Amino acid sequence: MKKYILLLIVSSYITTVSSQNTLEGSIFASNNQNPLEATVYIPLLEKGTVANFDGNFKINNIPNGNYIIAYTMVGYATITENIAFNEGAVILRNIELDQAAIEMEEVIISTPFHKLQRDNVMKVERLSASDISNSGALTLAGGITEIPGVSTISTGVGIGKPVIRGLSSNRVLTYTQGVRLENQQFGGEHGLGINAEGVASIEVIKGPASLLYGSDALGGVLYINPERFAPEHQTKASIKSVYNTNTLGSSTTLGLKSSQSKFKFLFRGTHATHSDYKTGNNERVTHSRFNENDIKAAFGYQNKTIKSSLRYNYNQSKIGIPEEIGEQTTSKEMELPYQKIDNHILSLDNKVFLNNASLNIVLSYLFNDRNEFEDDFKIPELHLRLNTYGYNIRFNVPDIKNFETVVAVQGMYQTNKNFSEEILIPDAITNDFGIMGTTHYHLDKISFQGGIRYDTRSLKTEEFGIYGTQDYIASIDKNFNSFNAALGLKIDLLESFYARINLASGFRAPNLAELASNGVHEGTNRYEIGNASLNNEQNFQIDTALEFKNEHFEVFANVFYNHINQYIYIEPTDRIMEDYSVYIYTQEDAQLYGGEFGLHFHPHPLDWLHLSSSFETVTGKQLNGDFLPLQPANSLSNTLKIEFEKLGVFKKIFFLTRFKNTFKQNNVSAFETPTGAYNLLNMAIGAQVKILKLDTKLGIRAANITDQAYISHLSRLKADGIENIGRSINFSLQLQL
């Protein structure tokens, strides 16, 4: 396999095509023909520009091939077109954009055909970097909860794990830099390890995405798009600082990026540090402090044959593990117990242009070094090193009439090693291999998308301990495999009225912890025992969506039903080992159902006003009638947003307030307790202004303004009666240098 991959890479560099092409033209507002400084972007090439004051734009050095071009500007409806470039063509376009109430749409990257959100057969939600920032959350995991149907399992404010429609942990796959994130995500207290700075946007696929991504995408995908390179022949630098009143914490990030016709680079460094957070009852939660250092760097190159992007992300996090409300301090120094995690992500993305087709080769290396300290600052109770080598080779087949087709080969080779005396999971080697094909068929009013995939996973573990003793772990040599398929349909029922229906199967092979753990999991304060006889989880989901969208009004309704065979979960026993309660892994068929419903109103002629509301619900049950653990409570969010393009010396002024009602959660598993209802009020205000001739962004974001004392049902500190964060206000200042 390695020789095959190397051969593909070498061949990609010697492939040749014809001379470069040019796209140029002008962009105007359709209602008054005023020129617009809109963005013109080619997603497949990650190449674009901004029209000048007169609305004129020009993009040079476009390779031969068919590319989707997106024209976007805030306050106007995004449009796309597919243009064929060939033999040094100069394409001229005069574009007219219509005013629109709905937020600016972007091309979706997480699905293979790069469509606008409204044109995708599969419904994909998107959250921009500003949306994440305006949430007031201290981490990326906290910010994603702005998307209906998405929640987070939290351990304080420093640790968060995404939950999509009631599914989490290894059932939700995270992608970053175009590669799957592997960082021992089996642990409930193991966070994302991705800093929000240097993130352009997040896309969320809700429901099985095993067709596109293989095992662990059974519940959905969190796709993190990295920061874009600077527009061609531009250099940009920025510095941003944020202060938080609750944790007395701060975050500072410095970024620099520059692009020429062929070469481009970017660099971003971030440092953040926070004290123990304070609850609504004015108590600081001991050992909930955390600090983080993050470096992101990228280099790009493009010629007439190939576009390459080399990206690297290093993240070091030190995160306290809260267990009680004890000593009240604002210190930011780590105390026991805490985690120290070093995470390295290296990815190389090559796109080879073959006239009307393209070959995409993504190679990756990830290294995760995880230490958990309980009683000693120098000797960790848990020390794991995870090395992951990944590959994703995708061929975009030349279009045949209205068919777009992609075939791909994906896989990874992974090793897990222990470096502490006591272990929770054994040393192991995991091999994944998958092959898939998917196609999209488009007519004027209807689109189909479908595909099929085969995956296989082999897992081998080493024997640990002495046979017959308590800590003995037998070796495992197992293989898992699965066929999966998906079929989707999108219909334009009426003008501005769309319907989607998607049927998909997914699977998840049991992870190393579920199969072979035997020991104290320090972060969860329990003794965990795996089950080597576990089988694949296999699910089938039906997802329906209705959406009406016009210039001033949008309403949507998404309903889903998800059946999972052999759902894996951990449950307590009445045994005690090493002074800890014993938990074991087991399986049972399960089902989840629910949906998201919402509306967005932009009344005319109050073009500066946006009113939106959304409701989300999910119910998870075993087929015997017992409720599944860690299911999010129903919630209702109402948002008021005001935007002005210019007001005096200020530009892009916004104000938003969001009131979220979270209802009682009485649908609890046998080892959970009900959770009461609570209401949270958040606000944000910001603007751009010139200070000393520098473009400056100012912002104030406040979460839980009423300082309500509450406990989320998805808080892992709920069992200890520890409340979530109280009033939290962020002050931000960003300078464009």
Question: What is the pLDDT at residue 104?
Answer: 63
Residue 684 pLDDT grade (very low, low, confident, very high; cuts 50, 70, 90): very high
Alpha helices in 70-181, H assignment, sequence order: 129-134, 140-143
Question: What is the pLDDT at residue 18?
Answer: 43
In whole angstroms, what is the distance from residue 487 CA to residue 542 CA? 10
Question: What is the pLDDT at residue 522?
Answer: 63
For residue 110, the Cα-to-chain-centroid distance in whole angstroms is 10
Instruction: Give the single-character DSSP code of 121.
Output: S
pLDDT surpassing 70 at residue 19: no
For residues 245-259, one letter each, b for 16 or more C-beta atoms within 10 angstroms of the residue's C-beta and e for the rest, the string is ebbbbbbebbbbbbb
pLDDT surpassing 70 at residue 152: yes
Within 8 A by CB and 6+ apart from 301, the residues are 262, 263, 264, 307, 308
Question: What is the pLDDT at residue 350?
Answer: 94
For residue 479, the Cα-to-chain-centroid distance in whole angstroms is 29
Give ∠ CA 712-718-722 in degrees, rounded to 5. Answer: 95
Question: What is the pLDDT at residue 105?
Answer: 72
pLDDT tens by residue, 686-710:
999 998 889 999 999 999 999 999 9
Structure tokens at 709: 């004392």
Give ∠ CA 233-203-654 in degrees, rounded to 5. Answer: 70
Question: What is the pLDDT at residue 169?
Answer: 86
Judged by DSSP in three states, 698 sits in strand
Residue 7 pLDDT grade (very low, low, confident, very high; cuts 50, 70, 90): very low
pLDDT tens by residue, 515-546:
999 988 766 778 999 999 999 999 999 999 99
pLDDT, greater one: 115 or 501? 501
Lowest mean pLDDT among 296-300, 426-430, 547-551, 721-725: 547-551
Question: What is the pLDDT at residue 146?
Answer: 85
pLDDT tens by residue, 387-401:
999 999 999 998 888
Question: What is the pLDDT at residue 5?
Answer: 44
CB 138 within 8 A of CB 157: yes
Mean pLDDT of 358-370: 96
pLDDT, greater one: 85 or 485? 485
Residue 13 pLDDT grade (very low, low, confident, very high; cuts 50, 70, 90): very low
pLDDT surpassing 80 at residue 593: yes
pLDDT, greater one: 66 or 25? 25
pLDDT surpassing 80 at residue 16: no
Lowest mean pLDDT among 290-304, 534-548, 600-614: 600-614
Mean pLDDT of 575-598: 93
Residue 6 pLDDT grade (very low, low, confident, very high; cuts 50, 70, 90): very low
Residue 732 pLDDT grade (very low, low, confident, very high; cuts 50, 70, 90): very high
Bridging pattern class, strands 90-97 and 21-29: parallel
Question: What is the pLDDT at residue 603?
Answer: 84
Residue 734 pLDDT grade (very low, low, confident, very high; cuts 50, 70, 90): very high
Domains of the chain, each with CATH number or no CATH: 1-100 (2.60.40.1120), 210-321+335-736 (2.40.170.20)
In whole angstroms, what is the distance from residue 7 CA to residue 1 CA? 10
pLDDT surpassing 70 at residue 17: no
pLDDT surpassing 80 at residue 355: no
Question: What is the pLDDT at residue 724?
Answer: 96
Residue 10 pLDDT grade (very low, low, confident, very high; cuts 50, 70, 90): very low
Please name which of 463, 399, 414, 514 lies closest in space to residue 179, comparing C-alpha atoms: 414
Mean pLDDT of 196-206: 93
pLDDT tens by residue, 169-192:
889 999 999 999 999 888 777 888
In whole angstroms, what is the distance from residue 517 CA to residue 188 CA? 14
Question: What is the pLDDT at residue 101?
Answer: 55
Question: What is the pLDDT at residue 649?
Answer: 92
> CA dist 228 to 48, 258, 394, Å?
10, 11, 22
State the average pLDDT for the chain.
90
Question: What is the pLDDT at residue 619?
Answer: 97
In whole angstroms, what is the distance from residue 31 CA to residue 343 CA? 51
Rg (CA), the chain: 25
pLDDT surpassing 60 at residue 457: yes
Tell me what percent of the residues of the chain surpass a pLDDT of 70.
Answer: 96
Residue 83 pLDDT grade (very low, low, confident, very high; cuts 50, 70, 90): confident
Question: What is the pLDDT at residue 357?
Answer: 85
pLDDT tens by residue, 638-674:
999 998 888 999 988 999 999 999 999 999 998 899 9
Tell me what percent of the residues of the chain surpass a pLDDT of 90.
Answer: 62
Question: What is the pLDDT at residue 14?
Answer: 39
pLDDT, greater one: 406 or 77? 406
Mean pLDDT of 74-84: 82
Find residue 529's DSSP bridge partners: 518, 584
Question: What is the pLDDT at residue 42?
Answer: 86
CB 167 within 8 A of CB 157: no
Judged by DSSP in three states, 710 sits in coil
